[in-house]
Amino acid sequence: MNGGLYFLAGCFLLVAPAATVGQATSDLLSRLTRPQDYRLKRVSSYDRTGGNDDYRPLAAGDTLTLLDEAGPGEISHVWITIASRERFHLKKLVLRMYWDGESSPSVEAPVGDFFGLGLGEYALFQSVPLSVGGDKALNSFFPMPFQNHARITLTNEGQREAEAVYWNIDLRAYKSAIPADTLYFHAQYRQATPNHAFPENKINLEGKENYVWVEATGRGHFAGVTMSVVENQDGWWGEGDDMFFVDGEKLPSINGTGSEDYFLGAWDFGGKPFAYGLFGAPIVGAELQGGRWSVYRFHLDSPIPFTKSLRATIEHGHANDRGDNFYSVAYWYQTEPHRAFPALPPAESRVPRVLPVTKKQE
């Protein structure tokens, strides 16, 4: 039996494909008997005066630098919590991460979307790489290596001050350089508000007009996606197939059977929310106009490799016949430099709302 690859707490852990998250965690515990070759550092918002004001305010239009560290190292955990009276601040505060002095971020997403909260409201869930704990505690365990330098920023694109931003970022400081073939962490936000509907389509073999999670150039592997949906019309939004085009393929080498199938649920998710280590639907709505959904899938058992390029997509309805709103963040690892990201949509356009369906004909 071939092994798979789990990313857990900054460790690359080989486990059998059928292994449970509990088994993977047990393997991590067994590694505690081995000596470690790093120095653990924490970069946080703690009160430098010794008081208890362990936060920073973030005025509208301003940027906070959460981390600015020399390498070599690897971020193993990011924790953020925010106090703000602005509704949808999770959609209006933007998280960016830069590796080794690059001018274009390798991570760019509204802070809520990055942590799986694509509807701009808090919801509790637990997965292997991402979790939201009570109350409003945003956690990432994706390993984020860097050779020379790492910088993380948070920008307030809203209209009101975020009164308090707290953060703890744990990283491993290494004595020697990370391996030359190490892949760098990337995450990219995209949205379609709305998707263009093609109601006359019956067949879609080549993924034309699919919703695109990410288009990457270089060598790496796809680690997963979080996605949220606002229905702009009644009915079931999830008849779309996932399609992955690897290294310039015209036809997808990976083709799924339906949206809820890709996210490892079934039968419209059964009308019930659920959250597991590698897949889940923490928010399950009604199949009506205005219905809201959030889902995730992580390919940590078998990341999807590419040597030249990757185009990861999903249909919006069967053969793209629906015009719902999609909001997503794709997570992947690759060599640098990375392909330029599309421009981040303006803050107000990121706020989830029901919109008129846009229909197009071939």
Half-sphere exposure of residue 206: CA atoms within 13 angstroms, side-chain side: 4
Q: Are 28 and 325 in contact (CB under 8 A)?
A: no
Residue 212, C-beta contacts closer than 8 angstroms, at least 6 positions apart: 190, 311, 312, 313
The CATH architecture annotation of domain 4-174 reads Sandwich (2.60)
pTM of the model: 0.93
Q: Is 39 left (phi over 0), alpha (psi -120 to 50) or beta?
A: beta
Domain ranges of the chain: 4-174, 184-359
CATH topology of domain 184-359: Jelly Rolls (2.60.120)
**Alpha-carbon gap, residue 143 to 285, rounded angstroms:** 32
- Quote the mean pLDDT of the chain: 93
**Alpha-carbon gap, residue 182 to 8, rounded angstroms:** 16
Q: Are 352 and 290 in contact (CB under 8 A)?
A: no
> pLDDT tens for residues 16-53?
334 456 667 777 888 899 999 999 999 999 999 999 99
Place of tokens 């869930």: 125
Q: Mean per-residue pLDDT for 2-13?
A: 37
**Alpha-carbon gap, residue 114 to 98, rounded angstroms:** 15
> pLDDT tens for residues 165-210?
999 999 999 999 999 999 999 999 999 999 999 999 999 999 999 9
> pLDDT tens for residues 296-344?
999 999 999 999 999 999 999 999 999 999 999 999 999 999 999 999 9
**Alpha-carbon gap, residue 227 to 78, rounded angstroms:** 20
How far from 172 is each of 108, 145, 273, 301, 358, CA to CA, in Å?
23, 9, 35, 24, 48
Q: Is residue 15 scored above 50 in pLDDT?
A: no
> pLDDT tens for residues 267-285?
999 999 999 999 999 999 9
Percent of the chain scored above 90 by pLDDT? 90
pLDDT of residue 13: 35
